[in-house]
Structure 1
Amino acid sequence: MEALISIDYTYDFVATDGKLTTGKAGQQIEQHLVSLTKQFIANGDFVVFAIDGHDPADQYHPENDLFPPHNVIGTAGRELYGALAPLYQAEKDKDTVYWIDKRHYSAFSGTDLDIRLRERGIQTVHLTGVCTDICVLHTAIDAYNLGYKLVVHEQAVQSFDPVGHDWALKHMKGTLGAQIV
């Protein structure tokens, strides 16, 4: 069994008027990202939706000084974007579909993701979502440090920073040994 980790593909990160949007770049990966998600669900693989959940009043969170408020808990900005939203709603009750609220860039930081993957004997994680050079990269680094094999789906990741996107893909391939497909 393998796992697909869908990272932060939400309204605030993808919609044209999102609070910290990748805009058209993020919107262009929707079809491929949704298709991969459907494929993994149909195969019975573990599919994780790892989604930022922020509280702008949290005086201890460093992102509050780095980025405008985004993915605020209880707002529409935190909802999955586009066709991914109804797909998740239709499949969320399966024991192979799991939602993680994350507070940090990495889907592993402060969550039970590693435990959930190990319980299922998963050794390979596939990464999709945004932003390639922030949350996808930090998730990849933690996965690498925990001993997972990495597959990054180039047509299903994106960033608001094209230079950072390209650099992160090279870094994940060259330094983390990720397979870029």
Structure 2
Amino acid sequence: MNKALLVVDYTVDFVAIDGALTCGEPGIALEDYITQLTEDFLKQQHPVFVINDLHEKNDPYHPESALFPPHNIRGTAGRNLYGKMNDLYKEHEQEIMWMDKTRYSAFAGTDLDIQLRARNISEIHLTGVCTDICILHTAVDAYNKGYKIFVHQGGVASFNPSGHDWALSHFQSSLGATVIPN
């Protein structure tokens, strides 16, 4: 089965202690797992996508502007991948596909589905943040598009612990996803 790794929103703004909309310690704790998983996918020559929020400064028309503080603003260091993932991306920039998204789901307003289908991908592996927001909405869209979904429990986190737990359960019970335990 052809598979791909999706690393969603693992950026400074979402992970660093001083990030604009941070998961903090739970997000930081993912660093080694996500980096190692990415290296494994690259070694096995499976596609890796990093898909990150892109927002414009003071955008009054974006719905998240009323929900969250400004984050992942174009041209800011907050959009960089966090820690070791940033280093790995720089080392493998030609192999890792970067995508910008402006909504929760990595499929909304991107050509992710086209890129996956062009590579005959039928199985996606999800990592990143936030479990109950962008990972969840990406998983729902993947389900609706017919992908087999794997969520790496050791590779997802949220700033909302109860939302994180609920989403892990929802992936299995409502989306038929496989949650790979820590």
Which residues of 2 match residues 87-98 of structure 1 at below 5 A?
87-94=88-95, 97-98=96-97
Aligned partner of residue 175 in structure 1, secondary structure: helix
Tell me the residue number matched to 2:126. 127
Runs ≥4 in structure 1, deviation > 3 angstroms? none
Give 1:47 deviation, angstroms.
Answer: 0.3
Give me the TM-score of the superposition, normalised by structure 2: 0.97
Tell me the residue number matched to 1:110. 109
Which residues of 2 match residues 5-44 of structure 1 at below 5 A?
5-44=6-45
RMSD of aligned alpha carbons: 0.6
Which whole-Å CA distance do the structure 1 matches of 2:64 and 2:57 have between them? 9
Spell out, residue by residue over 1:109-164, the C-alpha distance to the aligned partner (whole angstroms, 9 max, x if none).
00000000000100000000000000000000000000000000000000000000
Amino acid at match of 1:114: D
Number of corresponding residues: 179
Tell me the residue number matched to 1:179. 178
Tell me the residue number matched to 2:157. 158
Structure 1: tracts of 5 or more residues without a match = none
Which residues of 2 match residues 35-74 of structure 1 at below 5 A?
35-74=36-75
Please tell me whether the aligned partners of residues 57 and 74 of structure 2 are also in contact (alpha carbons under 8 angstroms): no
Which whole-Å CA distance do the structure 1 matches of 2:37 and 2:175 have between them? 22
Aligned partner of residue 135 in structure 1, secondary structure: helix
Which whole-Å CA distance do the structure 2 matches of 1:56 and 1:92 have between them? 26
Give 1:56 deviation, angstroms.
Answer: 3.0
Which whole-Å CA distance do the structure 1 matches of 2:26 and 2:75 have between them? 26
Structure 2: tracts of 5 or more residues without a match = none
